[in-house]
Each structure stands twice: as structure tokens, then as C-alpha cells.
């Protein structure tokens, strides 16, 4: 049982118990993404039975949920050329050519995202036992920048719609801690298997609620999410990655008095686990609920921004 | 034969001859992406024989080739939190939690990209006969924003390494116009087929040259690329999309006196063709040259920035 | 009396009555800034009796009042180098040299600002009778960009602390319309004169209220401000510029059913009046209340961003 | 005589000899700006004899000299609304109201600027003996942010047109080291005095050369500028601030083998000197050369970006 009054102790215990340091060599920069091998990709490709594809991304625009906490804002998209300029202005191109072009300014983790291995540290340690101050400076992540993951994140995806299986009307309430039992029950309810190298998608239903009721405190406030106690399961299952439809992956408030994202603190720097947040499973989940198939091919390619500690992503599931 | 002295006439002829307006209905916002159907995805998934994956993306950082033409700059990536702050600063998190976070400011087409349907206009017309000033305003692309393509761009990819087949030492020189004959010869040399819904990757080798010699005028200067005369082939083959490893897709200088990207002007607003630029085929091409297999599963998911006329992309090829 | 039910008519009347088109020639790009002449500057400089200086600027950071309306966000300031990098990182400079550096992404009118002459249009007309679509394109303000004002905005400043004179506890309530009578009464109460070329600072006290109670709807919500009926006074007095401590200069809600900033619509494109918003008069007003002197030397230099329709500004008053 | 082979020794000597640590108390955050007192401002205001004003700012746009060194880029200015939208689009405002609005993304030191006290460190020390890692983190300058200077930088300005007095055709060549002798000779040639609290403007003429010949390596390359040996003069004269029309203030290449901006390293963290760069003295210098008066009122107000280590500035000189 989790000692809610001893976050320091629990975190330390889990960090040690579920560490993957050195598992893939001292120079490793991929963490659990290493679990995706060619066999896994062949397995994932075979899951394309119909050929229907789904985007698991939310929108990227100023109508997002971010409130500016630690300068996490919504993206600002502006045009450097428009159709108005082309038709009514003097763009200066010959023979009727016209163009529109645009720019963006945004936090890399403002919407649907991967957390990079340089995103979270535990007592000054980053993934694979490196000191955090040797990894991420003002230049960026000099060692485990998300660009290293650029070719790899494609394989077998599994949707665990905990919201539908455990929740009410398809939604788990804010503050609901998803335990290993909930995950296992959902796996069984879906009739899927889960194994090494899989990319797990956990739907809580909070995004559906936010879309109906308004963002509210979706960004940073109370939310359903993984219990701290799932650290062992995350480690034992050898999944390559896991993503939720929430802002912060783990249950909020966190399960300790005075803690901050303790599960992140265990699984990213110690386990090297690839975590995704703010994914959108609504269309995929609807399809899976209809045909009962909860496994699929999944590509979730980060944008290889050099030295980034996170990346926006538009994950594509194909069934 | 192309009348090099009559760009206006040639563009008008091709625009009419190769128009797809109305082909998918007057409300269509996808253009040739419509050619990717479920059968095509099943066909593409079956091409995953080995399970090896390749990123077809260039880097995203300030060392890119952009020179600021029309405010097309290289991305600027900055940190809002670092490992230095976590270890030596006062981040204020409890129990040894530390974090790094980052932001980016960049043109959506600064590096590996898709051109959206709102990117290019022909005499004030955008895709599907809409007037450009009704499509793209300062708010963005109100009709054919690239977010509409978010779920779809996944299917069968084909690499046409024209650089290796036609070029010298794997590279076509700047100014080399790739004609239908070159494309067909490359298809045959590779022993592939090409058909409706395919995503075609055309390697010129210019990126390899730039990486060896320095960027120079890679961004906007002379380059190998598709001849204006390939418009018919692009239309007839019913490919879904096509991407090159160059800045501007078509041969530069363009094949007319006083013109600007005339092939773009024909194929984007009139044909609704999805065009990609600044892709990186080096690793994929090496593998294809070795095993002789030039077809693969390809996912190239745009970031669904609302109202965007282009998008950065990290395309993933799996063989 | 203002016909509150006929905004269209009232705006048209005032626009015609208070037009300055052609007053300074058909090529003019400065508007009422033209009223600041060398005599006025000599007059202003003579007001430096003590030598005490005041900044009339609010802060520029993410804690500002902006809520993202029409992409008006708060500024985002990030570091490209820090003291942490200098001390603990590997900046790579010799002999103990270390540095910090930073960037910003922000709307030009996110905080203390000048509205440029290209900021507001009336029925498609910009300042001096130019058609707005010939003035401001996606490239920016091609004619009246704020860079033209760069050298000029320095002269005699006058504080009208309407909040103290007319308000309660130094503050006017939201929705309070400041009329010509209020302005005149304040001028008299302060024992100042007002004339051609002066830069007028109108303190409502709303900023003080926001600082005490929280921003709330400071950005775009109800506010004290100038009545639409002051258009004649603004024109007749021949002031060079006027600034308030509010987001929107004029009273909000505006004094018509279904209108949007009608005073702006009259005075910027028709009168060519230079308007400032979100200034901070608290320290200056305290000093003026103490020594009874409400006139001073004022420099309010816009940042000459080429083609800008507004500018951040740190106005400096010296008494 | 400067020992060119011993930068470490020379820097250490000068840093100790010219330190102002503690001069204004251990909590000081203003450095030499403290030298500007009310008497100095009265003195400066009396220099407004004519009432003519000059902007000493360069432009802020993508046509600037920055090349991306350490992510120092040129500003990118984009529109969120234009006159084209107002006239031809559907902005949605009532009664003929139309608007244009804009944003900017830029390094704070991309053009005419002040260097903040948090910009440069000497062996891990910042201004007033604070450790640099306690001063500037990823949050910004927590102690000496340029916002502290917001009200103060207004007073007596002096132009030293070394380019005209010492140079050829008004320009000093790149690599020309301006010594104390050159400065004194220029002071005498201009018939001015120089004293405590003055803001000194040093014109080298390099900007004029760049405007004629193109930017070239204006940003970071060889340039005329202050000799390292002027550190004593800078300290002894008790000037409040000094600015040049060059990118890097001091002569480049620097006067040591293998050094980087050693004069900065002495004068900013040790002396607390306010340094400006990339100013534009062309119009002012022309006027001064004509009327022989080289002193004036000067306001150079930084933009109070919270925690900034530098700021863009549009300095206004009035004679």
C-alpha cells in the first residue's frame, strides 16, 4: 500500500525498483523505445485489416487549454502571406502565381505531445544515470534530444479505454486513480494482449468531458490518470510507450500530500519510459467499441527539433 | 514541346488540362489525398516485410538552410527550463522533481514539410475553384486548413531515386529538369509499380550535396526538380502525394523566362496535389539500393495547426 | 446628445466633422504627431524643474492581462543563455567570460503601447484617406508604419488624473464615460493649460484597481474611458497624442448598442490621432498630487518595427 | 602596455582595478545608471535649445545584420489582421470598423539595444559580486532584470564622433581600436565636457559603411570599437552609459589572441556599466557637425521585460 505521507520514500523505492539504467548500454538515448523491434513492427503492420486511419491528435491553436503556467501557452499561428494578399495585394509574383505562408510560436508540449527523455529529472538525474545539468542546458538536450527517436516510434498500438470499461458514460471522474487492476480489467474486457514494445493508449474520457463542458482546469487541474502504483506494471510489461488523453498522464491531484507528478519522476528519468499527453482517442475509441478490435498499427513520429525535451505529435492509428 | 517564352499560356493550358476541380465534390478539402483509400492502406501495410523504419525528416534547428526570403527563417528553439535549473537553480518542485521544457518559433515550412492546399493560388483561385481571398485570410486557411488532412496521409510509399538512376554519383545537378521519361525510367529501374493513391518520394540527391558542400543556395537557389512537363504525369498517375529532397519541388531555375514556381501553380490549386519538400531520403535510399525494394508503408502526418497552409512533418517509412 | 441607437450615423458625422485628412498634405504619415514642433519641445524641456523621472510603462511578462482575444496574448520571454550555463555549463567562451541572452515573442500591443496609424480603419479607409488594403497587407503597414514616428514623440506632457478629481478614492468605475466636461474640470483642478502639440495622459485609476483586485477583464471588459462625445475636444485641442491606463482608451461598454470601439474608429483613421493604451500613471500621479504640478517633459518613443501598426513603449516623464 | 598574450591576467587586473562592487550598496541593481541624478537631468534638459529630436535607433525587421550566431536572429514581424482583411475579409466588426494588429518574435538584442547587467559574467560573477547562477536562470534575470532601469535612463547625452574626428571620410576601419587618447581628442575637437552621469554616444562610422556596402559581417565580424585599454577611462569618467553604432561595442578582433569580448567582461559585471550597441548616430552626427554642438538631452528607455538581460531601445536625442 502506498504511504501517502512519504512521497520521498515511495519515489525513491520505485525509482530503484523500476530502473532501466544501463539496460541498453551506458550510451543509450532511447529508453523504452528500444523495445520496439522489427518483429514488433511486422506484428503491428499485420493489424491493418481494414485500412481505416485515425488521427489521435488534438488541435493546435489559440483555443487550447493552456493557461500560461511556467510559460506553457497555447500556440500562436500567424500568416506571412494570405489569399487576400494574393488577390488584392501586390505579392509581386508573375503570371498569376499567388501564395500563402505561415509561422507558429508555441511550447513544444502545448497540445498532443511526447515527453522527451530530457523532460523530467529525479534528484538531478536524467535518463540512464546522467546528471541533468550535463544533459539539458540553455542550448537544449545535448544527449537525449527527441530527434534521436525520430525514426523509431512506429509499431503495435493498443487502446485501453478505461473510461468506457470502468467509468460512467465513458468517462472517469477527475482525481480517479487508474490502478494496475483497472488496466488489467480493461485489457481483458477488450480481449487484447499487451506485451513488450507495445504503444499503449489509455483513454480516460476527460477530453470528451472538456469538449462538452469547456476546458476549465484541463491544463494542470484535477484529472483522472495513472496511479503512482502502476509504476511496476509500466516497468514489468515492457511497453515502449504510453499516452493519455489528459494533460498530465498521472492522476491529479497526485496521490501524496505535497508532491508533483511523482510517477513522471519515476518513469521518465529512471525507467526511460516514453510518455504522451493530450492525445485524442475519441474517434478511435468509437471505432474500437463498434468492432471490438482494440489493437492497430500506430505511428507517432516526433518532430525532430534538435535538442528538444518534448515534441508535438500527430499520432496515426490504422486498423 | 514547352514554349519557354509563354509561361502564361503554358500554365493556363496545363491548369485546365489537369484540373481536378469538382472531382470529389464541391466541398472537397483534401484534393489528391482522396486517392488514398482503405484498400491502398492495406496494400501499403503489406509492404512491411522486415519491420525496419526510417525517418524522412531533416533537422529542425537554426542550422537550416533558410535565409529569410519572405520571412522564411530557420526555427528558433529555446528552453523555458533546463537541467541546469533543476540541479542548480530553484525550480521549486518537491522531493527531487526537476524538469526541462521548451518552446519554438518557426515558419511551418522551414524544414521537412507538406504544402497545404491553401499554400498556392492560380490567378486568385485556390483548390476546387474557391477564390483565394475567401480561403486564406489573416486568420488562416478557413476552408482547406491542413488539419483536414490530419488522419489520412498513410499508405503505400514509393521511392524514385532519380539521383541514383539518372544522376552522377547519385546526384542530379542543380537546374536538372526531371521529366516523365526520367520518372518512368526510374520506376522501371527500381522494378516498382506506381498507381492511384501512392505517395511518391523523389530523391534528387541535392540534399546529399548540400550536406557535403554546405547549404549554399539550397533554399531558393538553383536545384534539380520536376519539369513543368510532368504535370500530366502527376495528374494521370493519380498519385496522392509527392515529395522531394529539395527546397522547391520543381526544377530551378524554372523552365520559363520570368516565372515563379509554375508547376506549383498548376498542381496545387488546380490538381489539388499534395506536395512535400525538404524531405531526407538518404537512409531510406541506401537501404533500397541494397535490398532492391523501393516500396514501403509510409505515414506522413501533418501537425494539425488550425488553418495552416503547410505543416512540418516527420515522415516515417517502414519496410 | 448622442443618439445611442444610431452608431452608424454618429460615427459618420464625427468622422466627417473631425477629419484631419489632407491637413498635413496628401503624403502625410504622422497625423497629429505633426503638432509637436520644436517650440513645443523647448516648452516641454523647460518643465524639467526637479529632474525626477518616471516610467509610465506596465510590465512585459506572462502575468499580463491578455486572454488571447484575436491572438492578443501576453509576451513570452525565454532565455537562450543563462548564468546557470555560464557557471555550470559549457558555454565555450575563454578566460572566464560568460553570458546570458534572451528572446521574446509577443503582440506589439500586449502591454503599454502606442496604436499606430495603421491599426484602425473606418469603412475601409485608413489615415489620410488611403484605402486600408493599400496600407496594411501581410507584409505590414507599407505607408504609415510606426517607424515613421520614431524620432518625434517627445515634448510637453500633461497628466489629467480624472480618477482623483472625479472618481472615488482615486478611481473611476468601469463603464464610466469621461466627457469633455470631466476633462475640462480636471484641467482646471490641476491648474494646467492644454494646447496644440501636447501629449495628454488620462488616468482613470482602473489599473490601480486591477492591481489590487486582480486583472479580471481588464483586457477587453468594462472599463472607464473617454466618451465618444469627446471626439470634438480631441480634435479642437489639437493635442498630439493621448494615452490612458486602460486596455481600450474609450469607455467600455461603448456608448452604443452594438458597436465596437467607435471613438477609435473616428479618431485614428480620420483624425490621425496618436493613441496610447495600458500606460501606468501611478507613480507619476502620486508625485503630481503631492507637488501640484501636472505638466512635464515626456518622451514616448515607439520601437521602429518596420511596417508595424502599433508598438510597445516605455514612456518617460521628467519633472 | 597591454600584454596581448595574457588576456587572463589583463582581464583580472582590470576587473579588480575598475570594480564598482558595493559602490551603491550590496543590493544595488542599477550599476553606473546610479550616476544619473536629478541635477544631471536638469543639466540635460537645459541642452534643449532648438527642440529638434533624433531617433538613434536602427530598424527592426528581417533585413537586419544578424546571422543566427547563438540564436541571435533578426526580428520576425507578422500580422494577425490587415487592411486586406478589413476591406475584403470578414473581420466581423460592426459599422465599418476595421483593424490591423501584429506580433513579433525576436532576440531582445537583435538591433539597437541596451545590454542589461545580467548579460555578461566574469568567472561566474555578475554585477555587484553576485554569483551568475543565482542571478540569471531559465526564468530570466531574477535580480538585475532590465525592468529596474525602466524609469532612469534620461539625462545629458554627448556624441563623440570619433569616425569624423579620427577616421577617414567619417569612418574608422574595422579592427580600429579606439583608445583613451582618441576619445579625449574627440572630446576636445567637439568642445564638449564629459562627466559623471553622462550618456556617451561613440560613433565609429561602421554603420554608415554597412549601409553603403551591405551588412557583411557587421554582426560579429571585425569592427572598430573601444580598446580594452579604455576600461580605466570608462571607470574614471563615471559616465552612466556608453553606446556605439557597432554590433559589439569593443574593437574586433579583440586585442588578445584567443579572447572574447574582454572589455565587456570587465565593465559589465565588475563596473556595472550600461552598454548600448547597434545605435544609429547618422542623423544626429550630421546635425552636430553642422552646428558644432555635441551635447543634448537623451532619453533611452529600455522596454521593461521582466527578467530581461537586454532590451531593444529607440533612444531619442533632443537638441
Percentage of chain B lying above the pLDDT 70 cut: 100
Best residue in C137, C140, C143 to probe A by mutation, most A CBs within 10 Å?
C137
**Could you give the angle at the alpha carbon of B161 between the alpha carbons of B155 and B162, nearest 5°?**
130
Mean pLDDT, rounded, for B252-274: 97
- Tens of pLDDT along chain C (319 residues) come to 899 999 999 999 999 999 999 999 999 999 999 999 999 999 999 999 999 999 999 999 999 999 999 999 999 999 999 999 999 988 999 999 999 999 999 999 999 999 999 999 999 999 999 999 999 999 999 999 999 999 999 999 999 999 999 999 999 999 999 999 999 999 999 999 999 999 999 999 999 999 999 999 999 999 999 999 999 999 999 999 999 999 999 999 999 988 999 999 999 999 999 999 999 999 999 999 999 999 999 999 999 999 999 999 999 999 9
Q: What is the pLDDT of residue B258?
A: 87
| Among the listed residues D174, D185, D170, the one whose alpha carbon sits nearest the alpha carbon of residue D286 | D170
- What confidence score (pLDDT) does residue A89 get? 81
B78 in contact with chain C, both atoms CB, cutoff 8 A = yes
Element (H, E) at B295: strand B295-299
List the single best residue of A103, A137, A138 to mutate versus C (max C Cβ within 10 A): A138
Angle CA B224–B120–A81, to nearest 5:
110
One-letter-per-residue 3-state SS of C168-213 = ECCECCCCCEECHHHHHHHHHHHCCCCCCCCEEEECCCHHHHHHHH
Shortest Cα distance, chain A CAs vs residue D6, angstroms: 30
Amino acid D90: pLDDT: 86
**Spatial separation of the C-alpha atoms in residues D161 and D202, rounded to whole Å:** 6
**Residue D1 sits at the chain A interface (C-beta within 8 Å):** no
CB pair distance less than 8 Å for C133 and A88: yes
- Does position B295 have pLDDT exceeding 90, yes or no? yes
pLDDT of residue C89: 81
A76 close contact with B: CB closer than 8 A: no
Q: Do the bridges between strand A113-115 and strand A310-312 make them parallel or antiparallel, or are there none, so unpaired?
A: antiparallel
Spatial separation of the C-alpha atoms in residues C54 and D314, rounded to whole Å: 17
CA-to-CA dists, residue A305 to A260, B74, B276, D257, angstroms: 27, 11, 18, 36
Going by their DSSP bridges, the two strands B113-115 and B274-277 should be labelled as antiparallel
- B-facing residues of A in 161-190 (CB < 8 A) are none
28-57 of D, contacting B, C-beta below 8 A:
none
Interface confidence, given as ipTM, is 0.98
Measure the CA angle with vertex A209, ends A205 and A215; round to 5°: 120
Question: What pLDDT was estimated at residue D1?
Answer: 82
Q: How many CB atoms lie within 10 A of CB B282?
A: 18
Q: How many angstroms separate the first and last alpha carbons of chain C? A: 39
**For residue C302, how far is the Cα from the chain centroid?**
11
Q: How many CB atoms lie within 10 A of CB D219?
A: 21
Q: Which residues contact B67 (CB under 8 A, 6 or more apart)?
A: B219, B220
Question: Could you tell me if B87 lies within 8 Å of chain C, comparing CB atoms?
Answer: yes
Residue A247 sits at φ, ψ, to 5 deg, of -70, -40
Determine the average pLDDT of the residues in B63-87.
97
Q: What does DSSP say about strands C120-122 and D97-99: parallel, antiparallel, or unpaired?
A: antiparallel
Q: C253: cis peptide before it, omega within 30°? A: yes
pLDDT tens for each residue of B26-57? 999 999 999 999 999 999 999 999 999 999 99
Contact partners of A by the rule of 3+ C-beta pairs under 8 A? B, C, D
Decide if C82 and B87 are in contact by the 8 Å CB cutoff: no
Do D187 and D146 contact (CB within 8 A), yes or no?
no
Strand intervals (E) in B51-96: 53-55, 76-81
Question: Given this model, what pLDDT does residue B89 score?
Answer: 81
Is D310 in a helix, a strand, or coil? strand
Confidence grade of residue A143 (pLDDT, cut at 50, 70, 90): very high
Angstrom distance (rounded) from CA C268 to CA C266: 6
3-state SS, residue D196: coil
The DSSP result for A199-260, as a single string, is EEEE--SHHHHHHHH--TTTTTSSB-EE-GGGHHHHHHTT-SEEEESSSSSB-BS-SSSS-S
Contact A78 D82 (CB under 8 A): no
Reduce the secondary structure of D49-80 to three states and give it as a string.
Answer: CCCCEEECCCCECCCCCCCCHHHCCCCEEEEE
Q: How far is CA C38 from CA C28, C35, C90, C318, in A?
A: 18, 10, 53, 18
All partners of chain D with 3 or more CB pairs under 8 angstroms: A, B, C
Whether this prediction's pTM lies above 0.90 is answered by: yes
Q: Residues A144, A29: contact at Cβ < 8 Å? A: yes
| pLDDT (mean) for A98-109 | 98
SS3 D44: helix
Beta-bridge partner residues of D53: D318
**Percentage, residues of chain C above pLDDT 70:** 100
Nearest CB to C89; choose among A85, A88, A137: A137
Instruction: Spell out which residues of chain B touch residue C88, defining contact as CB-CB under 8 Å.
Output: 84, 87-88
Contacts of C105 in chain B (CB under 8 A): 103, 105
User: Which residues have C-beta within 8 Å of that of residue A30, sequence separation ≥ 6?
Assistant: A24, A117, A148, A149, A152, A272
Could you report the average pLDDT of every consecutive run of 10 residues in chain D (319 residues)?
94 98 98 98 98 98 96 97 94 96 98 98 98 98 98 98 98 98 98 97 98 98 98 98 98 95 98 98 98 98 98 98
Query: CB distance C105–D104 less than 8 Å?
Result: yes
Three-state DSSP at D244 gives strand
pLDDT at site B202: 98
Interface residue of A103, A108, A262 to substitute, partner B, most B CBs within 10 Å: A103
Nearest alpha carbon to residue C69 among C95, C107, C20? C107
pLDDT band at residue A194 under the 50/70/90 scheme: very high
Residue C310 with chain D: CB contacts under 8 Å: 101-102
pLDDT at B90: 86
Query: Which residues are within 8 A (CB) of A52 and not within 5 positions of it... i.e. 6 or more apart?
Result: A287, A318, A319, B38, B41
* Cβ–Cβ under 8 Å, residues D34 and D239: no
- Distance, in angstroms, between A284 CA and closest chain C CA? 31
Domains in chain B (CATH in brackets) are 7-70+107-318 (3.50.30.50), 75-104 (no CATH)
pLDDT band per the 50, 70, 90 thresholds, residue B139: very high
A257 pLDDT more than 90: no
As a whole number of angstroms, the distance between CA C109 and CA C116 comes to 10
Residue A287: asked if its preceding bond is cis (omega within 30°), the reply is no
According to DSSP, the residues that pair with C101 across neighbouring strands are C81
Amino acid at each position: 500500500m502506498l504511504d501517502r505521507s512519504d512521497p520521498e520514500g515511495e519515489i525513491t523505492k520505485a525509482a530503484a525498483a523500476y530502473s532501466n539504467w544501463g539496460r541498453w548500454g551506458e550510451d543509450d538515448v532511447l529508453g523504452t523505445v528500444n523495445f520496439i523491434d522489427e518483429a514488433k513492427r511486422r506484428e503491428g503492420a499485420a493489424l491493418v485489416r481494414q485500412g481505416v486511419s485515425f488521427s489521435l491528435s488534438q488541435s493546435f491553436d489559440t483555443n487550447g487549454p493552456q493557461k500560461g503556467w511556467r510559460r506553457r501557452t497555447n500556440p500562436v499561428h500567424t500568416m506571412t502571406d494570405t489569399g487576400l494578399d494574393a488577390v488584392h495585394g501586390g505579392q509581386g509574383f508573375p503570371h498569376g502565381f499567388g501564395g500563402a505562408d505561415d509561422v507558429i510560436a508555441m511550447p513544444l508540449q502545448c497540445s498532443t505531445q511526447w515527453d522527451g527523455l530530457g523532460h523530467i529529472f529525479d534528484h538531478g538525474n536524467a535518463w540512464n544515470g546522467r546528471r541533468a545539468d550535463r544533459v539539458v542546458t540553455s542550448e537544449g538536450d545535448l544527449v537525449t534530444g527527441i530527434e534521436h527517436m525520430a525514426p523509431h516510434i512506429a509499431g503495435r498500438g493498443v487502446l485501453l479505454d478505461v473510461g468506457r470499461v470502468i467509468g460512467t458514460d465513458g468517462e472517469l471522474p477527475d482525481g480517479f486513480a487508474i490502478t494496475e487492476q483497472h488496466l488489467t480489467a480493461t485489457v481483458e474486457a477488450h480481449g487484447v494482449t499487451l506485451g513488450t514494445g507495445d504503444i499503449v493508449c489509455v483513454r480516460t474520457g476527460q477530453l470528451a468531458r472538456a469538449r462538452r463542458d469547456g476546458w476549465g482546469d484541463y491544463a494542470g487541474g484535477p484529472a483522472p490518470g495513472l496511479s503512482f502504483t502502476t509504476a511496476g506494471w509500466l516497468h514489468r510489461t515492457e511497453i515502449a510507450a504510453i499516452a493519455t488523453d489528459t494533460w498530465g498522464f498521472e492522476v491529479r491531484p497526485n496521490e501524496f500530500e505535497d508532491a508533483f507528478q511523482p510517477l513522471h519522476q519515476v518513469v521518465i528519468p529512471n525507467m526511460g519510459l516514453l510518455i504522451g499527453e493530450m492525445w485524442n482517442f475519441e474517434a478511435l475509441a468509437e471505432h474500437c467499441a463498434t468492432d471490438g478490435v482494440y489493437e492497430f498499427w500506430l505511428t507517432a513520429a516526433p518532430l525532430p527539433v534538435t535538442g528538444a525535451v518534448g515534441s508535438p505529435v500527430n499520432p496515426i492509428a490504422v486498423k
